[in-house]
Amino acid sequence: MENKGVLIYVEQEGGRVHPICFELLGKGRELADKTGSKVSCALLGSGVSGAAQELVAFGADSVYVYDDASLATFDPVAQKQNLVGLIAEVKPTVVMFGATFAGKALAPRVAAAIEAGLTSNCTALELQNDGSLLQVRPAFTGNFLAHIKTKSVPAMVTVRYRAVEAGSRDDSRKGEIVKKDVQKVDSGVKVLGKGAPKEASIAAADIVVCAGRGLKKAEDFALVKQLADALGGVVGATRPLVDDGWISKDHQVGFSGTIVKPKLYVGVGVSGSPQHLAGMRESGTIVAINSDPSVALFRIADYAVVGDIYEIIPQMVGLLKK
């Protein structure tokens, strides 16, 4: 077994590391400790060297830093070229990416270049007794969980945000920080501008107010947003409302959407399908509001309110504003 250890791609913007990378480090550290191997990170960008020590504090043994003005803007072709060279040098058993926009753009390109298998949108990674990596991901629109073993080495995965636990920070940890020469590539990609910033991601939110089939029409999301704003949270939705085009996919809570672990989850008119419950059941405090006392969400709720959401939400908003 020439290949050994875990390599994690570090997504960053302006030198600030995406929180999903700390989750990958937590899982990577767990896998490496079981096999007596090491965790490495690939940090690419411009002005990113200062983030290397933070990665060491969260569990990295080595951080390979590609710091160059040519990498100031995310370019999956240029980053792929540098990552492929690093994988050939480090020879990891597992390569991990976040299942983010950047990760989903970069991981398939790297996998194709090194002729490795790639399992996307993983929600769990488990090391088997034979040393192989079992990769768990939703399949058939979230109705089933697929358990996958990759025959090729390294095993490449993208992991959903909030699907695994972040490692704990230890600023006393020591690690190796290696500056690497950047292989510059003219990919022909030109960034003409950035789109308008999106609302806060539901995956990162501490408070999520999620609407379900109890909502009568798309315009009623304004009522849900009033409650979310009063609580300082963001709006979520169940899959049927997304499928009907009432709200965009990035608001979908559930196994086939986004897994959330907020401190407070409020479900308004949410019945609680299995795939939805699987995507939010680890929330800190769960509040369910529904006129039907038999809905599945009530069975896991910390607080169950039986009543009409169109009467209860305005009362809640009024009290919160006071």
How do residues 189-205 score in pLDDT, each as one tens digit? 666 655 544 555 798 89
Q: Which of 15-29, 63-77, 249-263 has the lowest mean pLDDT?
A: 249-263
- The three-state secondary structure class of 210 is strand
Provide the CA 228 distance to its chain's centre, in angstroms. 22
Per-residue pLDDT, averaged over 148-167, amounts to 91
Per-residue pLDDT, averaged over 82-91, amounts to 96
Same structural domain, 57 and 96: yes
Q: What is the CATH number of the domain that holds 16?
A: 3.40.50.620
Q: Is the pLDDT of residue 143 over 70?
A: no
- The three-state secondary structure class of 255 is coil
Is cis: bond before 154, omega within 30 of 0? yes
* Within a domain: 60: yes
Instruction: Name the residue range of residue 70's domain.
Output: 6-179
* Within a domain: 184: no
* Within a domain: 141: yes
Same structural domain, 93 and 27: yes
Same structural domain, 145 and 217: no
- Contact between 158 and 98 under an 8 Å Cβ cutoff? The reply is yes
Average pLDDT, the chain: 92
Q: Give the whole-number percent of the chain exceeding pLDDT 70.
A: 94
Same structural domain, 231 and 292: yes
* Within a domain: 313: yes
Same structural domain, 68 and 124: yes
* Within a domain: 223: yes
Per-residue pLDDT, averaged over 233-240, amounts to 96
Same structural domain, 12 and 135: yes
* Within a domain: 189: no
Structure confidence at residue 1 as a pLDDT band (50, 70, 90): very low
* Within a domain: 187: no
- Residue 190: predicted pLDDT: 67
- Residue 198: predicted pLDDT: 52
Extended strands (E) in 37-128: 39-45, 62-67, 94-98, 118-122, 124-127
* Within a domain: 168: yes
Q: Is the pLDDT of residue 163 over 80?
A: yes
Same structural domain, 104 and 214: no
Q: Give the whole-number percent of the chain exceeding pLDDT 90.
A: 79
Number of compact structural domains in the chain: 2
Structure confidence at residue 141 as a pLDDT band (50, 70, 90): low
CA atoms within 13 A on the CB side of 212: 24
Same structural domain, 137 and 61: yes
Angle at 30 between CA 95 and CA 258, to 5 degrees: 65
- The three-state secondary structure class of 104 is helix
Last residue of a domain, one of 179, 197, 219: 179
Same structural domain, 175 and 42: yes
Same structural domain, 216 and 175: no
